[in-house]
Every structure is written in structure tokens, then in C-alpha cells.
Structure 1
Amino acid sequence: MADETENDLIKNLETIKAKRGYLLPHHGLLQISEPDLLSAYDTFYEVMTLRARNLSELSKEIIWLGILITTGERIATHHLDRLSKAGGGEEHLTECVSLAAWASGAEHYAFVSENWSDFTTDFHAVRNYRVKLDALMIESCLKQGDIEMTLAAIYTATNKHYWLEEHIKGAYASGVEEDQLAEALSLTMFPGGVPNFVDAAQIWKSMINQKKVQASKKYKIWAEMGEQSGFGDVLSHT
């Protein structure tokens, strides 16, 4: 490797570190093997995470932490620093832990409703889920919209469609702007996987077409637009 190439490699990695405030092993791996891919990846990450879009910085970091705790991303400690810089503290982190823990057991509500309904007289999965969630969050420092978006993002990352739909509804009911909700769900693409984000978009689109939420004009256009089911009509089965 020529000295100039070595210098360029070091310079490019230092540029990434300066932009993000840290450097991870895969940055160097991509730089030496696929620099164009690293450049595209870095641009995508900058737009998704570093650039101000629709969410406030505090809301964005709350949602990020809910996702990261759920997916076990221990390396992402820079988001704790970003939470602090956005005006958050350990009380916000504690609430994110509570939401992640809550979401991990949510499927049990659906289980009882779906399998034991003949043996119960007044068990309703969504109603009971909401009552207990409200009790958990009654003294929370989080805004209701942030709670709804964080849980929607968690259920996107974990591919739990039943509860994702509930919190898309909840986000609308809480006055969350659609572009804010879209940003919240998009944060799952790296830690939760793009396929789960695709499924979440399909669920939201179907909810709009079924009039389960009152969507804006541009979101209705998206939902009603032609075939969006992928090769072999895969998404029609979701």
C-alpha cells in the first residue's frame, strides 16, 4: 500500500470519527474493502441519526434507547451521551427500560385473548394491556406521544404486528405527526433489520386503507398507490 493510500485511509477514518465522535471496527473494515459502500452507509447514517428531521433530539434519543435496549445493542453507548446532550437524564433512561421490559411481555395479553377466551368473561387483550400500561407510566417523565412512538418502534424491531398496530393508532390519538412516526419507525432499520421495517410500513399502509387511522393526503396517496407487495406478492400474506 502506497503512503498516499495509507494517509487517505487514516484521513477518511478520522473524518468519520470526527463526525460521529467515535469509531467502530466495521468502519475500518468497510474502508479497506468497500470504500464506496462505507461512504453510502455513512451518508445514510448521517441522515437517519445525526441530521435533524422531524423529531426533537430528546424524543429521537428516547426512541433510540427503547430500540437499543430491546435489541441488546450494548455497543451503542453514544446514544446515552446524545440523550444527555438533548436534555435527558437517567429518569428518561429508566422509562425506556420500563417500556422495553413491558413490551417483552405484551404478547401474553394476546395469548390469553386468543386461546382462553372461552374460559374468561371479561378479558380483553388491548383494554387490559392499556390499563396496565397507563398504570406503569402514570408518573412518567415521557410525553404520551413519545411513549407511543417508542413502543411502535420496539414492536417494529421485534416484528410484533399485533401491538405495532395498537401503537400506530395510539400515536395518531396522541397527536403525533405522521412524519414523526415515520422517522421513529425508520430508526429500527439497523438494529431491528430492514425486513421488519418493510413489514411495519405494510401494516401502516393497510391500516390507512382500512381507515383504522385518519391519514393525511400524502399518506393516503402512498397507501393507495399501486402494487407494493414485492416480488411474488410476498407482502399480501402479511
Structure 2
Amino acid sequence: MSGETTAELEARLAEVKAKRGYLLPHHGLMALAFPKLLAGYDAAYTALALDDRVLSHHDREFVWMAVLAATDEALATHHIAKFRAAGGTDEMIGATFAAAALAIGAEAFDFAARDWGRQLAPFDPQASYVATLRIVAPAAPIRLVHLAGLAVQVCRARWRPFGWHLQAAYADGVEEEAMAEAISLAMFPGSVPRFVEACGHWRGLIADGTLPASPRFRAWAALTGQGGHDEATGLAKPG
């Protein structure tokens, strides 16, 4: 920032480090060139990754570990320490990688459903995937396997398996707000556009009656005008 002293820049970076416990190169660049962007980014990251919402610290970090594995995000090693600090054991670390591995491998079941459905009948790819989901990480509660799997499917943009995960999670009584928080964790490493798409697919499955959503979430699904620019300009039917 023109006219700013080195001491002022260092003070701004010190504030960020004090909150997070670490710094990455993009923090320094934003502090140097775009301090308002750094402030907005820091506020968004704090609300997403640091503030308490629905998930416990342990459960949130379980999902984070799966998301980072699914996106090959090697920089975020601080989540290992955060998971362990929240009670994450080696056994649970293995469980989060197992849950992530199956969710990543869901593309094989997706292929089976998409391209070989008639030839494989009566084999049901969705039922087979969900059955495997229930045994892949015995050390973890099925709720956490669902939450990690949902977030991974957002990162991978595998929307059929994402729908399978939603149906199974509802059947197992996973809280909607917990599912919402889990998929939101995919926003930074997995991309905001994919989070947008995920919300659209979730909404569509509620609207068509596939998911037994709560009244609050049904109200969200029924709300018109959520089709973005294409809807506003007449290029798409109202959602």
C-alpha cells in the first residue's frame, strides 16, 4: 500500500498470525497490495473455519482432513495439529482418509450407474455404494463418514454420488445444519462455484421430493428466483 511503512505492514501481518497461529504467502501479498481484500478474506475465513457453528472442533477437523485429501491440499498441515488437539486419534485419522478414499472412488459407482445401469441390473450401484460407505471406516460414527463424503463430493463435483450421500445421511438422521456446514468447508479448497452447484443439487432433491427435508429447508427449496443471472435474463426457467 503506497505510503505505508514496513512497520505498519508487519503489524498487520502480526494480527493475522495471532488469530490463525501461522501465515501463508498470500496473506503477505494481500497485506502489502490489497489490505481491504485481506480484511474481507480474513473475515470470511474466520466465519468459515474458525468460528463455532454446528460441528464440534473434532468433527469439523475430521471433515477438513477429508476435504484436503480430496483436493491434494498439502499446504494446510495446521489441520493435522488442530484435529489432534480436538481429540483426533491415529485411528480417527485413518478413518477420515478411508472416508475420503471411498468418496473419491465413488466415480466408479457413478460410472456404473451412468453407463452400465441396464447391463448391470439388478445390481444397484447406489445401494452398493451406500453399503460400502457403512463399513469403510468402522472407527468413525457413520454421521462423520456422511459429512466427510458430502464435502468430498462437492470438491470432486460428483453430483450423483453427492445425492446418494444426501439420501443416506437423511436416512441416518444427520442434522441438516451439520451437512450444510460440512459442504461449506469445501468452498476454499474445492471452489466456491462447486459449493454453489452443490446447494443447487441439494435444493433440487428437496424440491422433487427425494429428500425428507425439514420445513425450514423445504422453504429454502421452494423459494423462487435462485437461478442467478441466467434466470434473471430469461436464459433459464425460474428455479
TM range (shorter): over 0.9
Match of 1:93 in 2: 93
Q: Aligned pair in 2 of structure 1 residues 131, 178: CA closer, same or farther (>3 Å)?
A: closer
Supply the AA of the counterpart residue of 1:153.
Answer: A
| Counterpart in the other structure of 1:84 | 84
Runs of 4+ in 1 over 6 A off after TM superposition: 1-4
Return the match for 2:183 from 171, 182, 185. Answer: 185
Taking the TM superposition and a 5 Å limit, the aligned residue runs for 1:194-213 are 194-213=192-211
Q: Residue by residue, what CA displacement relative to the aligned partner does 1:142-183 show, whole Å, maximum 9, x if unpaired?
A: 111111111000001110000111111222222222111111
Q: Aligned partners of 1:235 and 1:143: how far apart in 2?
A: 41
Paired residues of 1:149 and 1:168 also in contact (CA < 8 A): no
- Counterpart for residue 37 of structure 2: 37
- How many angstroms apart in 2 are the aligned matches of 1:149 and 1:159? 15
1:207–1:48 CA distance, 2 compared to 1 (3 A): same
Aligned length: 236
Native 8 Å contact 2:130 2:164 kept in 1: no
Contact kept? 1:61, 1:82, Cα under 8 Å: yes
| Partner residue of 1:159 out of 143, 157, 161 | 157
Q: Higher mean Cα deviation, 58-67 or 86-95? A: 86-95
SS in 2 for 1:135: coil
Provide the rounded CA distance (Å) in 1 between the counterparts of 2:146 and 2:114: 24
Q: Judge which range, 190-199 or 108-117, deviates more.
A: 108-117
Once the two structures are TM-superposed, the CA of residue 121 in structure 1 deviates from its matched residue by 4.4
Tell me the equivalent position of 1:219: 217
- Tell me the distance in 1 between the aligned counterparts of 2:3 and 2:41: 26
Q: Percent of pairs identical after alignment?
A: 35
Output the TM-score relative to the length of structure 1: 0.92
Q: Which residue of 2 aligns with 1:58?
A: 58
Q: Which runs of 5+ in 2 are unaligned?
A: none
Query: 2:79, 2:173 → 1: CA distance?
Result: 26
- 2:135 is paired with a residue whose SS is helix
TM-score by length of 2: 0.92
Mean CA deviation greater in 70-79 or 212-221:
212-221
> Does the CA contact (< 8 Å) of 1:48 and 1:187 recur in 2?
yes
Deviations 1:40-85 (A, max 9, x none): 1001111111111111111100000000001011010100011011
How much has 1:235 moved relative to structure 2? 7.5
Structure 1 gap segments, 5+ residues each: none
Aligned to 2:140, the other structure's residue is in SS state: coil
Q: How far, CA to CA, are the matches of 1:143 and 1:2 in structure 2?
A: 53
